[in-house]
Amino acid sequence: MSTTEHSDYIDSDTGKMGMWLFLFTELFLFGGLFIVYAVMRTKYPEDFHQAALELNAFIGATNTVVLLVSSMTVAMSLTAIQKNKPNIAIGLIFITLILAGVFMMNKYFEWGHKFSLHLYPGSDVMKTLPHGEIMFFGLYFMMTGLHALHVIIGGILLTIVMFKLKSGKINQEHYLLQENGALYWHLVDLIWIFLFPLLYLIT
């Protein structure tokens, strides 16, 4: 058992540990929905198969690529500030934010399409569907909706990071906030990596 040193300020390792623990709680939050997904899929395998065919795997795949690239740019931005290149770091964060916007735009069109087909919880069309399909679309909207909320929160966080980079408050020595922002962004990415196959690919 090693002893830890007595520290008076929030150092980088302490701050990161707090962030990792918070990310665990986020995973468990989605974990509850994954349990519901597993139970409902076991109960209604046929309906889930039918309902999943309604989703557009192309848009889903596009969004996966968009998020993966944005994860790369946010990681590159961190490397840039570590090498003391704040302008490149700011640019890369900006690209990440653009990609987040692209993701949300795709999501908007995707949801909009579902709404135009009256495929939303409580709609008249939804009520005529078999039980399993109702559950599938309920899960689809709740999971992607909660995920989209996380994209927005992550976007706000990264915007703050961008302004702090601009003002020099995040710099080569102190970049804990940027590192934690990047970690959060990777979580957003990671959860999507699970949602994409569960909802779009397993038909």
Partner 1 sequence: MNYNSSPTAPLNFLNHKTGLWSWLSSTDHKRIGLLYLYSITIFFCAAAVLGLLMKIEKFAPGETIMTAQTYNGIFTIHGIIMIFIVVIPGLAAVFGNILLPIMIGAKDVAFPKLNLFSWYVYITGACLGLYSQFAKGHVPDAGWTFYVPYSAEVNSNIVIALTAAFVLGFASILTGLNFIVTIHRMRAPGMTWFRMPLFPWSLYATAWIQILATPIIGITLLMVIAERTLQIGFFDPALGGDPVLYQHLFWIYSHPAVYVMILPAMGVVSEIFPTFSQKPIFGYMPIVFSSLAIALVGYFVWGHHMFTSGMSYQARWFFSLLTFLVAIPSAIKVFNWLSTMYGGSVDLKPPLLYAISFIFLFTIGGFTGLTLGSLATNIQTHNTDFVVAHFHYIVFGGMGFGFFAAIHYWYPKIYGRMYNIRWANIAWAILFTGFNVLYFPMFILGLQGMPRRYFDYDPKFQTGQMISSIGAFILIIGLIGMISNLVYHVRRGAIAPANPWHGVTLEWQIPSPPPHENFDEVPVITRDPYVFDNPYTK
State the residues that interact with partner 1 by CB under 8 A: 1, 3-8, 10, 13-14, 17-18, 21-22, 24-26, 28-33, 35-36, 39-40, 43-44, 121-122, 130-132, 134-135, 138-139, 141-142, 146
Q: How far is the CB of 162 from partner 1 (least distance, A)?
A: 22
Least distance CB 98 / partner 1 (angstroms) = 30
- CB 25 to partner 1: min, Å: 5
Which CB atom, from 23 or from 102, has the smaller least distance to partner 1? 23
Nearer to partner 1, 135 or 170 (CB): 135
Minimum CB–partner distance for residue 27 and partner 1 (Å) = 8
Listed residue (179, 189, 199, 3) closest to 93, CA to CA: 179
